[in-house]
Amino acid sequence: MRAVCPRCLTVALLVSLPLVGARGLAEDSPAVEFEDREDRLIITLGGMPLAEYMKSGDDRTTRPFLRHLHAPTGEQVSRNNPPPEGEPDDHGALHVGLSMGFGRMGEYDTWRLKNRVQFSEYVEQPTGGPGKGSFAVKNRFLKSTSKDAEAYCTSVDRYTFLVRPYGTLILLDVTFTADPDEIEFGDQEEMGLGIRVNAPMNVAINQTNRRGKNGRILNARGDKNQDLILKRNTKEPVEWCDYAGWVNDRFVGVLMMGHPQNFSKPYWMARDYGLLVCSLFSSGDLGKGKASAMRVKQGETFRIQFGSYLHSTENEESLDLSAAYENYLSVAGESPGVVSTTKGPSD
């Protein structure tokens, strides 16, 4: 075992049109608004759908997730939940939108829904307004799928929605607390932040859309689509990977990013059928190297950080993914926090 130096690790999601360097709010910024219901929080921007936060999942999915994510121009970026007739319905309860799942938290598995993640309370009530909105929740990670089961750890997830001149920035700061038990994040590809994209965007069926243009998965090294990305995970990990295709005659996608202050650079679980997972705990499973492990002792905390950039442009050529990544870093780096963890394999 060896100690990890305290550091700031957060989860961030970036939803926007093509970005430039501007970081201030426009005076006429549209309002972020919330409608709180018993099982979900409906989020709008300027009166238009932005996302729905499902507090404890739904009847099929036993973990929180953001569903029906939209680009500011109105195109839906994430999968319909549930998928309607005529759209692929594979992994229907697992791939529900944008969510975190962990297939190996010691003996527990929230990715495959073997254990429930249950909404406990608002730590900060949803508060909206021109150019900004925020809320924070406390979640309990339970030892079974029963709502009455005991918890093995908790998390506090803080969401902040900031309108930028060219889009909307959503910061999600997730802090795990190992209480009452210690927790361990083991090595597996299903360990991180994942998105299932809108059906017309997925590589496997995008060839049949009315424009006749193909969707694609592309990482920062230039590797393209499932086979090459998975093959080259064994090389130096890369910071971002983008999944994009054509929706309503626009090039729409989601750029997934890992922050350099994270536990590790991300490995990419890429699937041509529409899934992209940014995993920090896959140096063995995906990287084919030494297996990773992060042990968080009882009473300690652990934070992780990701970014997601939902984009919509008239064509692929006008999309600057490197600039979007740099813009994300310039904002995500402002998030404060202290981490106390122990890193290493089990005894």
How far apart CA 146 and CA 85 sit, in angstroms, is: 30
How far apart CA 98 and CA 172 sit, in angstroms, is: 12
Q: Six-digit token pair at 240?
A: 């971002």
Q: 42 with 35: CB under 8 angstroms?
A: yes
Q: 245 with 202: CB under 8 angstroms?
A: yes
Question: How high is the pLDDT of residue 164?
Answer: 67
Q: 328 with 307: CB under 8 angstroms?
A: yes
Q: 222: burial class by Cβ within 10 Å (0-12, 13-18, 19+)?
A: exposed
Classify residue 148 by its DSSP letter: T
Q: 292 with 284: CB under 8 angstroms?
A: yes
DSSP 53-95: EEBTB-SS--S-EEES-B-TTS-B-BPPSSPPTTS--TTTTT-
Closest CA to 268 of 311, 319, 228: 228
Q: 217 with 226: CB under 8 angstroms?
A: yes
Question: How high is the pLDDT of residue 266?
Answer: 92
Q: Show pLDDT as tens, one digit a residue, over the chain (347 residues).
A: 333 333 334 444 544 444 433 445 555 788 989 999 999 999 998 899 999 999 999 999 999 999 999 988 889 999 999 999 988 899 999 999 999 999 999 999 999 999 999 999 999 999 999 988 889 999 999 999 999 999 999 999 888 877 765 657 777 788 899 999 899 999 999 999 999 999 989 898 765 554 567 789 999 999 999 999 999 998 888 999 999 999 888 899 999 988 888 888 899 999 999 999 999 899 999 999 999 889 999 999 999 888 888 888 888 888 888 888 888 888 886 443 334 444 443 44
Q: Show me where the domains of the chain are located.
A: 2-343
Q: Six-digit token pair at 210?
A: 């009315």
Classify residue 316 by its DSSP letter: G
Question: In sequence order, what are the residues at sequence separation of 6 or more whose Cβ sits closer than 8 angstroms to the Cβ of residue 70?
Answer: 48, 49, 50, 51, 76, 77, 310
- Composition of the chain by helix, strand, coil, percent to 5: 10, 45, 45
Give residue for tokens 């984009």. 311
Give residue for tokens 């999942």. 57
How far apart CA 142 and CA 136 sit, in angstroms, is: 19
Q: Six-digit token pair at 252?
A: 């729409």
Question: How high is the pLDDT of residue 340?
Answer: 45
Question: How high is the pLDDT of residue 206?
Answer: 65
Closest CA to 99 of 84, 112, 87: 112
How far apart CA 262 and CA 267 sit, in angstroms, is: 12
Q: 29 with 131: CB under 8 angstroms?
A: yes
This prediction has a pTM of: 0.88
Alpha helical stretches, state H, 180-239: 225-231
Q: 93 with 83: CB under 8 angstroms?
A: no
Question: How high is the pLDDT of residue 341?
Answer: 44
Does domain 2-343 fall into CATH 2.70.98? yes
